[in-house]
């Protein structure tokens, strides 16, 4: 008899079966969103916006897949994180549409903090 754990391991990014294309690297800015998607990733120098999720639907945005080195800044005084990100797409790239991705890795991080006058 095979015993299974009570909870399944959280799917990683690159190995996730919902990924639809090859993962790629970008230099970008990750910031907290106020809409359905909680985290947006802007590839610097483009007009594109990537939505960080856990799958191909906007409903998957509640628990985005991000590396552990990004999680400590959530809820802090950090406005945005700049760095080198490896992302894996859950949706195809389409002009005029936000592509949904997960973040496999993040390095060379620079944290932009909110000005002290805007902190709550």
Per-residue pLDDT, 4: 47
Give the DSSP letter string of the chain: -----SSPPPP-STT-TT--S--EEEEEEEEE-SSSSSEEEEETTSS--EEE-SSSSGGGGGS----TTTGGGTTSSEEEEEEEEEEEESS---TTSPEEEEEEEEEEEEEEEPPGGG--
Does 1 map to a domain?
no
Number of domains in the chain: 1
Does 83 map to a domain?
yes
Does 19 map to a domain?
no
Q: Is the pLDDT of residue 120 over 60?
A: no
pLDDT in tens, 55-112: 999 888 888 999 988 877 766 778 889 999 999 999 999 999 999 999 999 999 998 8
Per-residue pLDDT, 94: 93
Q: Is 0.85 topped by the overall pTM? A: no
């Amino acid at each position: 008899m095979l015993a299974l754990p009570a909870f399944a391991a959280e799917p990683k990014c690159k190995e996730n079966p919902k990924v639809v294309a090859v993962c790629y690297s970008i230099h970008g800015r990750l910031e907290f969103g106020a809409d359905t998607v909680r985290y947006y990733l802007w590839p610097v120098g483009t007009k594109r916006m990537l939505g960080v999720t856990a799958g191909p639907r906007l409903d998957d945005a509640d628990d985005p897949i991000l590396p552990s080195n990004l999680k400590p800044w959530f809820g802090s005084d950090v406005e945005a994180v700049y760095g080198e990100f490896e992302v894996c797409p859950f949706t195809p790239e389409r002009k005029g549409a936000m592509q949904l991705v997960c973040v496999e890795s993040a390095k060379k991080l620079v944290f932009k903090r909110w000005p002290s006058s805007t902190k709550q």
